[in-house]
Amino acid sequence: MNSSLCVMKFGGTSVGDADCIRRSAAIVKAAADQRPVVAVVSAMSGVTNRLIDGARRAELGERDFLHPLISGLRTQHLTALRALTSDPRKYAEVQNTIEEVLGELERLLQGTALLSELTPRALDAISGVGERLSAPLVSAALCELGARSVPVSATDIIVTDIHHGHAEPLMVETRKRAETHLRPLLRDGVVPVVTGFIGATLDGVQTTLGRGGSDYSATILGAALDAQETVIWTDVDGVKSADPRLVPEARTIAEISYTEAAELAYFGAKVLHPNTLRPVTAAGVPVWIRNSFSPEKPGTRITSRGKSNGGGVKALTAIRDVTMINVGGPGIVGRTDVLARSFAAAAAVRANVLLVTQSSSQNDICFIIPTAEEKRTVQALRDAFAPELAEQTVEHVSANSSVAIVAVVGENMQGIPGIAGKTFAALGREGINIIAIAQGSSEYNISLVIDAAATQKAVTTLHKEFRLHEASPATAEATSVGKQSPEGVSAAGPAGTRK
């Protein structure tokens, strides 16, 4: 038995039904036969969306959805459980947990409907239910395979701040909890199956790490336990040169640096939660992205250096649900405080500013935020500039939500002449209008704001322009079984077919 710890995270599709859970459990079991493993799991695919939708409907005072939602979740999880365990005692134990969690969910939704009010705290409690339902299933599947395993709630381990919906871990406390709650299990050869996505404050109030946050949970636990590596098992072969839903010919990148992968995640590559690499970057712990439906493939390795492709474009990404905010008018020329006040107003409502540009004549400040944050940001800006808007020194605070950001990502982008020129020429040839550009201090990306309707065309055009569909040393589609797979997990589990 190798003593080096591995954290393995399984996303929603990898635990989407009993077959997927069995396949994922087989991957964990094969690794756990060789080394200590902590598993981290997401909710079954689609469950978090259904929970959030339920919360929103309860906020409107609706109740008619309640019964179908809860009984649907019960049927889905109990059907999977029945297929996954042959032990009646285990079945009864997990069924109990499922009923407890569903009972709590019902009370939360009833309370929300009664008050017609959905607090951020209640939304976190409701949206985190999916992981509390899936972790016992995965643990039961592991026991069925002969492993020793227990489900563990991350609310006992991952201590966070109080920022509901996008909480951040308090690592010192989290480390302590991981040592007391997880280390003894690992020493005993037990596989803890930890709920992804959720954590709790020091006072025990449940929080969430943001949508897609189970990736982040995995690296938080990896860092807290000094794991040797973290493997994120998902439904694609690794990080690709573009979102495969937009560009089907996108290639799997064999190796990429933390910075490049973080840029991709930040600019919308759903394969990684934007904060995933933060906890492991300082220690240089590798993170793998692998396909639980094709475990024989090596996936993408994310490390501090990544494999160089000699510099230049490595991948493209796009974010569509964004809004462009403009603060401007000729009256702001020469006023030095407008920029600072705009960002202070945005920061006060915790708007996530993704990109900033300012026209050279200085009469227009433009920045991009997620559309979900538009209402509160525009309100905050209108409040902040109320006197100037009244006397028209600031003429407008406007919002345009029919835009998208396309980011061209790679190392040493500024050191390679012509990338920006090539990007603009290719988009120009296709008649795609560039609304704003940012090639900030980061050497790792050029980001463009375009009309949202042109997103797919822009990404496809640039993918061809930079020949990203062709194999390069960094994008070589590795086919040899387990050639550079992380130790102990190469080709683990059956090669099952995708759902």
Interface positions with Mg ion (CB under 5 A): 11, 212
14 contact choice in ligand ASP, ligand ADP, Mg ion, none (CB below 5 to 8 Å, kind-dependent): ligand ADP
By CB neighbour count within 10 A (0-12 exposed, 13-18 middle, 19+ buried), where does 7 fall? buried
48 contact choice in Mg ion, ligand ASP, ligand ADP, none (CB below 5 to 8 Å, kind-dependent): ligand ASP
- Residue 366 binds ligand ADP, judged by CB under 6 A: no
The site map against ligand ADP for 284-323 (x = CB under 6 A) is -------------------------------x--------
Read off the tokens for 267.
Answer: 């600019």
Contacts of ligand ASP in 337-356 (CB under 6 A): none
Read off the tokens for 221.
Answer: 């636990």
Residue closer to Mg ion by CB (options 82, 498) is 498
Min dist. Cβ of residue 225 to ligand ASP (A): 19
Alpha helix positions (H), 64-205? 66-84, 88-115, 120-127, 129-144, 171-177, 183-187
- Residue 42 binds ligand ADP, judged by CB under 6 A: yes
What is the SS3 string spanning 422-433? Answer: HHHHHHHHCCCC
Min dist. Cβ of residue 426 to ligand ASP (A): 34
Total residues binding ligand ASP (CB under 6 A): 12
In the block, tokens 């365990």 appear at 85
Residue closer to ligand ADP by CB (options 124, 235) is 235
Q: Give the list of residues 6+ apart from residue 304 with CB closer than 8 angstroms, or none.
A: 257, 258, 281, 284
291 contact choice in ligand ADP, Mg ion, ligand ASP, none (CB below 5 to 8 Å, kind-dependent): none
In the block, tokens 């065309």 appear at 457
CA dihedral 231, 277, 499, 247 (to 10 degrees): -130
| Strand pairing report for 445-451 and 396-409 | antiparallel
Compute the distance between CA of residue 432 and CA of residue 271 in angstroms, rounded to an integer. Answer: 27
Give the residues across from 400 on adjacent strands.
324
Contacts of ligand ADP in 236-275 (CB under 6 A): 236, 239-240, 242-245, 264, 269-271
Query: What one-character DSSP code corresponds to residue 242?
Result: S
Min dist. Cβ of residue 13 to ligand ADP (A): 5
13 contact choice in ligand ASP, Mg ion, ligand ADP, none (CB below 5 to 8 Å, kind-dependent): ligand ADP
Among 5, 8, 12, 454, binds ligand ASP (CB under 6 A): 12
- Residue 406 binds ligand ADP, judged by CB under 6 A: no
Residue closer to ligand ADP by CB (options 252, 363) is 252
Min dist. Cβ of residue 47 to ligand ADP (A): 11
- Are 373 and 222 in contact by the 8 Å Cβ rule? The answer is no
Contacts of ligand ADP in 183-242 (CB under 6 A): 212, 234-236, 239-240, 242
- Residue 485 binds ligand ASP, judged by CB under 6 A: no
From 40-48, 91-99, 314-322, 329-337, span contacting ligand ASP (CB under 6 A): 40-48
In single-letter form, the type of residue at position 353 comes to V
Total residues binding ligand ADP (CB under 6 A): 20
- Are 312 and 260 in contact by the 8 Å Cβ rule? The answer is no
Min dist. Cβ of residue 219 to Mg ion (A): 13
* Cα three-residue angle 230-252-229, rounded to 5 degrees: 10
- Residue nearest ligand ADP by beta-carbon distance: 11
Note the Cα 184 to chain centre separation in Å: 29
43 contact choice in Mg ion, ligand ASP, ligand ADP, none (CB below 5 to 8 Å, kind-dependent): ligand ASP
Compute the distance between CA of residue 234 and CA of residue 9 in angstroms, rounded to an integer. Answer: 8
Contacts of ligand ASP in 203-262 (CB under 6 A): 211-214
From 11-19, 112-120, 138-146, 217-225, span contacting ligand ADP (CB under 6 A): 11-19
Cα→Cα distances 370→261, 366, 393, 499, Å: 20, 14, 27, 32
Residue closer to ligand ADP by CB (options 291, 342) is 291
Report the Cα–Cα distance between both ends of the chain, in Å, rounded: 33
- Are 177 and 156 in contact by the 8 Å Cβ rule? The answer is yes
From 22-30, 42-50, 353-361, 453-461, span contacting ligand ASP (CB under 6 A): 42-50
211 contact choice in ligand ADP, Mg ion, ligand ASP, none (CB below 5 to 8 Å, kind-dependent): ligand ASP
- Are 219 and 277 in contact by the 8 Å Cβ rule? The answer is yes
In single-letter form, the type of residue at position 291 comes to N
Compute the distance between CA of residue 406 and CA of residue 384 in angstroms, rounded to an integer. Answer: 30
* Cα three-residue angle 49-297-409, rounded to 5 degrees: 65
| Strand pairing report for 191-195 and 198-200 | unpaired
Alpha helix positions (H), 335-385? 338-348, 374-384
Residue closer to ligand ASP by CB (options 30, 108) is 108
Residue closer to ligand ASP by CB (options 23, 50) is 50
- Residue 54 binds ligand ASP, judged by CB under 6 A: no
Residue closer to ligand ASP by CB (options 197, 258) is 197
Give me the phi and psi of 97, to 5 degrees please: -60, -45
Contacts to ligand ADP by CB under 6 A: 11-14, 42, 212, 234-236, 239-240, 242-245, 264, 269-271, 315
- Contacts with ligand ASP by CB under 6 A lie at 11-12, 42-43, 48, 130, 196-197, 211-214
